[in-house]
A and B are shown apart, each in its own frame.
Chain A
Amino acid sequence: MTPHELHLARISNDLFNVALFAYIASMVGYFAYLAFRREVLRIGAKAVLMFGLAAHFLSIVQRGLAAGRVPWGNMYEYSSLLAFLAVLGYVVIVEGRYKSRTLGGFVLMFAVLTMAIAVSFFYVGPGPLVPALNSYWIKIHVVAAILGSSLFALGGGVLTIAYLVKDARERREAAGPAARPPIMGASIDLADPPYYAPGADDPVGATGSTDGRGILPPSATLDRMAYRTIAFAFPIWTFAVIAGAIWAQEAWGRYWGWDPKETWSFITWTIYAGYLHARATSGWKGRRAAVIALVGFVSLLVTYYAVNLWIVGLHSYKGF
């Protein structure tokens, strides 16, 4: 590696750390906003978040320049890109499209964990790709897989968890202090959130409700955002799996061989297909669908971490 490339790699690492600390600060800001409800906290947290996002973007670009290839060639780089896309997805989809401004802390928690794991366990210097990875399909397949993963993490993970939290609170409040439902699920029909209530897509959170119902968006909105994000991610994931299969056909002479990574991406795909069916055909919204989405999220984490690290296969690969 030339001194110039080393220099670029160092800049990339510095920017990565800047982004990581900005995300941590912003996460604290968002949570503080949830606790104290001072608008200034939220605005500050958002500003720090955008700063971190910019630094993160530059870090990824510098990494690519240092390695002289696309910056997604090993676990460290995937994780960095995954966190970046999850945060970007949050800014574009949740804050931009749905005008919901209070969930930043949850997303940043995911991003911070992903990045911390990446630097502590997966760090490798920039270098060229091993021959098996050196195909233009890697660029397509991996970037689609990471984009799909980040959106699943956002929809099936973060938004679904926020939904379940909020939904539980709404149920408690609906039941009132006197009449707590004795058994979970006993009051599903009574308290089922009003999905078709007008205004479920309206901007919420920015105004903050003052009636003691918290400042997270209503559960119906969270449910809908989670669904939309997952429905957005699903074709991307499908495409990633197809591109991976095309690549496998080129590299290994079989498009599908039940390698653990292939197996687990199929499992994840199946679970989210189940989720979409549940929503579309049997009208399972709310908690039951949320549980499927969470199972899908767990499967995604297995696909991403466990398969790469612990399960032996052609895909197992964490730098050399």
Chain B
Amino acid sequence: MRTALVLLLLLALASVVGSLVPQGPNSPERVARFQVDHPLLGDFYRHAGFFDVFGSWWFVLITTLLVISLVLCLVPRTRAAIRGLRQRPVQAREIDGFPQYSERTVATRPELAIASSQKVLRRRMFRVSRAEGVLAAEKGTLREVGSLLFHWSFLLLLVGVIYGKGTGFTGKALVVEGETWTDGAANYDGTVREGRFFSGDFTGVGVRLLDFEDTYRRTGQPMDFVSHVDLLEPDGSLAGRADIRVNHPAEIDGLSIYQYGFGWAPVVEVREGDRLLYSAPAPFGQLSPPAGVPQLALPWNGVVKLPSVGEGLGIQLVLWPDSSAYLQSLETGRPVLMTQANHPIMFFTTWRGPLLDPSPRSLDISVMRRWTTGTIGQGTTCDLATGKCWEDGTRPVGPGELTMSFPALRQYSVLQVSRDRGVPIVLAAAILLLLGLLPALYTSRRKVWVRAEANGEGTVLKVGGFALQRKSQFEEEFSKLVDELERASGEKVGTR
């Protein structure tokens, strides 16, 4: 028991470290920054596993030891409890030595006094065993049962956690309105966090984003984020329709799908003459805002890459979903919130040269040459060589002319997709744990012995007892019990 406790406190201590040192799985940027700011300490932390305390080998080791030591102390304790439950209460040799002791004289024969005492104790839910002229009684086994239930449940909880996290995974799916995402290793956005025992069995189910909706109050305080989706079976058939919103995940084939984030994805088309080179919605991201500027007032950034044009063409884009908010913030010098699209515009800068950065969402301009800049509104087309723009269809495009169009602005939703098969186990364990805790803390074990000795016409009733917990309460209970035993055994003759 003590070992388990020490291990539990070690876990707590490790958690303190985990809450003070930035943790890689939760905030990789902060870990990176820490390593830059404190190279020596950072190195030490990295080697010691302090940047991922809860995934480090020593955290797993402590947990494993805790599981083992819990099993080792629970097994004998449970055996003893079962033995105790089977055993009849044991008669005492001397009963006047117990902390509670009382004698009463009653006017019946000893056998009758014992029989009626047995009845009283039974009615009070004691377990009673009877021998010649004596009784032994016990109550409060629920305390031990509850305590065992609590500890076993805690063990079960640990096991459920290890099983569920170990065989599960979690990742982010980015879906643009109108498109479908399929559960597969390559389709996740960023890294997938896999458990130690994850076998790579992705499900192949699909999520088609019909519409994303975000609503705000005038202050910019978010009210609701909803992804309206179709859920598709691996064969492409419709499994159902769902509204995924914060606090309301969707479930399919053991996957849970949660609303995580969202953003703008302008549809960009690039043509050479009338040959379409590129046409796709490009998911844009945001920088973190400087102090005092709300996130909603910031523009969105994205890139479009065309490796096949010359030695490579990169277009950097800055999107203002609401151009009037942009103008207003220019005029007043104050940030203006953009909660919906309204004549969106994008500033673009084109770069020529090799596209070194393999990531689709960033551009390495270190070896590129800046070419042109311009501003494109929704429904317009620009000549990338000059930066000049015109409304779609108002001017014919010359052969070989490189143009960019911005036909539509869509939204994308980031969904968190995860599987944890341990959840039902953990939930059941948590409920049992709580159920066990109540009797373990609030009931008490007490024992009572009765001896009836013939005394002339009547009987001397000797009662002794003690409580293992809540002793002062037991004093009261005991004196009431003795009174009742006496009353049940016939009329009172005298008290000693």
Contacts and interface: CB of A to CB of B under 8 A. Distances in A.
A80 B18 CA distance: 30
Given A128-B223, A247-B247, A264-B15, 7 more contacts: A131-B247, A249-B423, A253-B170, A253-B256, A255-B423, A259-B26, A263-B19
A254 interface: yes
A235 interface: yes
B162 to A, nearest CB: 12
Interface stretch (B1-9, B105-113, B299-307, B314-322): B1-9
B8 A270 contact: yes
Given A266-B12, A320-B221, A250 B18 contact: no
A270 B223 contact: no
A242 interface: yes
Interface in B391-427: 416, 418, 420, 423, 426-427
Contacts of A263: 15-16, 18-19
A205 interface: no
B19 A264 contact: yes
Interface stretch (A22-30, A105-113, A153-161, A274-282): A274-282
B284 interface: no
A200 B472 contact: yes
Interface string A187-223: 0000000001010110000000000000000000000
Nearest to B257: A253
Contact of B420 (A132, A246, A254): A254
Can you list the 7 inter-chain pairs with the closest CB atoms, starting with the nearest? Answer: A270-B12, A253-B258, A201-B472, A131-B246, A263-B19, A135-B247, A260-B19
B1 A281 contact: yes
Interface in A133-182: 134-135
Nearest to B164: A255
A311 interface: yes
A231 interface: yes
23 contacts: A128-B217, A130-B222, A131-B222, A196-B471, A234-B437, A235-B437, A235-B438, A247-B247, A249-B423, A251-B258, A254-B418, A257-B26, A258-B15, A258-B18, A258-B23, A258-B54, A271-B9, A274-B5, A277-B1, A281-B1, A281-B2, A307-B19, A320-B221
B189 interface: no
**A contact face: mostly helix, strand, loop, or mixed:** helix
Given A130-B221, A135-B247, A254-B418, A234 B471 contact: no
Interface of A: 127-128, 130-132, 134-135, 196, 198, 200-201, 231, 234-235, 238-239, 242, 245-247, 249-260, 263-264, 266-267, 270-271, 273-274, 276-277, 281-282, 307, 311-313, 320
A251 B12 contact: no
A131 B15 CA distance: 29
Contacts of B222: 130-131
Nearest to B435: A235
B16 A267 contact: yes
A82 B256 CA distance: 35
B341 interface: no
Contacts of B441: 231, 234-235, 276
Contacts of B473: 201
Nearest to B193: A254
Contacts of B19: 258, 260, 263-264, 267, 307, 311
B196 interface: no
B26 A252 contact: no
B9 A270 contact: yes
A242 B249 contact: no
Nearest to B471: A196
Contacts of A132: 246-247
B161 interface: yes
